[in-house]
Amino acid sequence: MSRYTVISADCHAGATYALGGFLDYVDPAYRERLREEMARLEKENQERMAKLFASEFMAEQDNTEEALHGGRSGAWDPDRRLKELEADGIVADVIFPDGSQNNGAPFQAASGPGAIGADHALQSVGAWAYNRWLAEFCAHAPGRHAGVALMTVHDVEEAVRQVEWAGENGLRGVLLPAGVGDLPFYHHPRYEPIWSICEERGLVLHTHVGSATPDYGDLPGAGALFAYESLWFSHRPLWFLIWGGVFERHPELAIVFAEQGADWVPDTLRIMDNLYLHMFRHEQKRLPMRPSEYWARQCYVEAMFLSRREARMRERIGIGSLLWGSDYPHYEGSWPRSKELIATALKDVSERERRAILSENAAALYGFDLSELDAIGREFGPEIPPPEPEEPRPGAKIH
């Protein structure tokens, strides 16, 4: 059996409020305000989590050996983080903002301009604070973390500055808010400077599950409705970037759809290709490629966590578009059982494809030095038995 190098394309980090959170990173004029926010959130977050997940589910996740011994504090402790990741078979990670443990970015900065009660100007302040903290956090092990910066798209010029700063300070991507509230959506030309600067600086766009949803109120079923709809709302920028011609105008721009399943991709592309080939064939002058071709060229998906069923759809999703992620240190993620879950998911996938999905795609996209990571992977990476002879591919005849 050979070991595999694993880059988790979906992990989370944030400064714990218990140690002052982002206070040292925020503009001094906003420190008092941030202190107030932290005090308020310490209460609210607990209630929110209790509504979101079944208590039995939370208890199970808290009851693992690793969680009992403080593993989740890797969200702000960079040394513990690396140890936990290695123990889980992972040698490098892509870091998104957190919020599951009283460590969310200040002033709802990660939630986008459509978040309930969002104050756009304050969100900008929060984004800068988070980005400064994140750059420092990633610098603890620069070859092993790819930080995803926040940008506040209500102010496009400010967002451009945030992207520039992120690139200059070692961060590798930016979070594109999946929802925009009352702003025009992403087919609008107002966002053009953002696409240009991301393409020019090689910063990868990301949407991540968990935002952009409407207010479900304090009603029975609200938590499940959030969990379900948040998936679709996170996919949503895809078709705006395609039909809006953004991928056509910016062929070097890349986007990752993180923690939102991967099985939705083939159907989505099939329906859009059909529209393109039939009802909307007049769009072919403006968009010379099919939606599925823009996908193949510029889009990536991280399922969290990839199922065996999704791995079997890999050709229709695109081997080159698949990333693997653990969601460390979240309750719903694969940590600390990633090795076992990877082996199950990729049971009947060839070695070459396994390497693409587990590390090569992410390394090329984020600029990780794979020779350096492979050296660590040979020590800590999961061992997976050789692929079993595959059963006849289901669905092959359908298309």
Residue 267 is a binding residue for a second copy (CB under 8 A):
yes
CB closer to a second copy, 229 vs 372: 229
Residue 53 interacting with a second copy (CB under 8 A): yes
Q: Which region among 28-36, 77-85, 218-226, 339-347 touches a second copy (by CB under 8 A)?
A: 218-226
Alpha helices in 290-330 (DSSP H): 291-298, 308-311, 314-317
Q: Which residue, 42 or 267, has its beta carbon nearer to a second copy?
A: 267
| In the complex, least distance from residue 198 CB atom to a second copy, rounded to whole angstroms | 20
Query: Please, are residues 182 and 115 in contact by the beta-carbon 8 Å criterion?
Result: no
In whole angstroms, give the CA distance from residue 4 to residue 6: 6
Closest of 345, 351, 266, 348 to residue 306, by C-alpha:
345
CA angle 359, 256, 222 (to 5 degrees): 120
277-316: contacts with a second copy (CB under 8 A): 278-283, 286, 309, 312
CA 322 vs CA 71, 120, 378: distances in Å:
27, 33, 22
Is the CB of residue 265 less than 8 Å from the CB of residue 294?
Answer: no
Size of the site for a second copy (CB under 8 A): 59
Supply 91's token pair.
């040698």
Query: Is 57 near a second copy (CB under 8 A)?
Result: yes
Contacts 24+ apart (CB under 8 A), 390-394: 390/348, 391/348, 393/312, 393/315, 394/312
String marking each residue 166-185 x if it binds a second copy according to CB under 8 A: ------------------xx
The residue range among 193-201, 203-211, 223-231, 340-348 that interacts with a second copy, by the rule CB under 8 A, is: 223-231
Shortest spacing between CB 225 and a second copy, in angstroms:
5
Q: Is 229 in the site for a second copy (CB under 8 A)?
A: yes
CA gap 228, 190 in Å, rounded: 30
Q: Pick the stretch among 159-167, 227-235, 251-259, 340-348 that binds a second copy (CB under 8 A).
A: 227-235
Residues that bind a second copy (CB under 8 A): 52-57, 184-185, 187-189, 214, 216-217, 219-225, 227-229, 231-232, 236, 239-240, 242-245, 261, 263-264, 267, 271-272, 275-276, 278-283, 286, 309, 312, 332, 391-392, 394-399
